[in-house]
């Protein structure tokens, strides 16, 4: 329910996460508070962070410039808040999916996704890191460190066992993406190919030989 008390609780929770060095909160802080924009997770979690910072972060998440603006906005639109709180969806909507890749070296994998595939690091968790998330546009991939690959690479490639599939909107974009990765020296399991079902796609191999499919329309 979007009321001030709930937002106060959210701010206190963010403050507690920061004090407990909960790594995923660092990415949220960096996204919503400009003074943390170019800081890595470790520096964000070590920096001074007050309740006012957490409140400002909650306000920005709700589309307001400041905590005071959020309070003013809530008090100015009580009828709208009430009407929203009474409505309930008739069906749950899944708004995203995050495939999980098993990797043997988190740092190496993060570097591959950043430097070769154009992804950004969302967060890295643990010392040494054992879990991370990378994203590019609307695609989010979770990386989980394991001692050894879960599937033999020969079996994976022979059976073409994909770890993740990602799509672009147009035929021009899938060609551009393939050329981008080709220029970056990415290893391909399959180069750009037109499929009988009316799609074009290619398959990339990451350092752990996970197969990542990128696809789009053929025309």
What stretch of H or E contains 145? strand 139-145
Same domain (yes/no): 114, 64: no
Same domain (yes/no): 183, 77: no
Residue 109 confidence (pLDDT): 96
Residue 128 confidence (pLDDT): 84
Same domain (yes/no): 126, 29: no
The domain that holds 168 is classified in CATH as 3.10.180.10
The segments of the chain whose pLDDT lies below 50 read: 1, 79-86
Indicate the number of domains in the chain: 2
User: Rounded distance, CA 122 to CA 31, Å?
Assistant: 10
Instruction: Report the half-sphere exposure of 119 (CA within 13 A, side-chain side).
Output: 23
pTM score over 0.85: no
Same domain (yes/no): 42, 72: yes
Same domain (yes/no): 141, 75: no
* 211, 157 contact by CB (below 8 A): yes
Residue 80 confidence (pLDDT): 45
Containing domain of residue 157, as a range?
Answer: 100-217
Residue 107 confidence (pLDDT): 94
> Which residues have CB under 8 Å from 14's CB, separation 6+?
25, 28, 29, 54, 57, 58
Q: At what angle do helices 4-19 and 51-61 cross, to 10 degrees?
A: 120
- Among the candidates 86, 121, 154, a domain finishes at 86
């Amino acid at each position: 329910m979007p009321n001030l008390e709930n937002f106060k609780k959210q701010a206190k929770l963010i403050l507690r996460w920061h004090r407990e060095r909960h790594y995923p909160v660092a990415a949220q802080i960096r996204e919503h508070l400009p003074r943390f924009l170019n800081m890595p997770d470790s520096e964000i979690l070590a920096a001074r962070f007050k309740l006012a910072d957490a409140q400002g972060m909650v306000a920005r998440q709700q589309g307001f410039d400041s905590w005071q603006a959020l309070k003013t906005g809530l008090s100015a639109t009580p009828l709208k808040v009430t009407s929203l709180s009474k409505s309930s969806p008739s069906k749950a909507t899944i708004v995203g999916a995050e495939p999980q890749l098993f990797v043997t070296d988190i740092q190496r994998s993060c570097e591959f996704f950043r430097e070769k595939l154009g992804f950004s690091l969302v967060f890295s968790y643990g010392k040494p890191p054992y879990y991370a998330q990378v994203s590019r546009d609307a695609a989010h991939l979770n990386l989980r460190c394991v001692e050894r690959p879960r599937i033999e690479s020969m079996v994976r490639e022979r059976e073409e066992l994909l770890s993740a599939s990602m799509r672009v909107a147009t035929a021009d974009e899938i060609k551009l993406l393939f050329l981008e990765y080709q220029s970056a020296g990415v290893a391909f399991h399959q180069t750009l190919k037109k499929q009988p079902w009316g799609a074009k796609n290619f398959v990339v191999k990451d350092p752990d030989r996970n197969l990542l499919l990128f696809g789009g329309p053929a025309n």
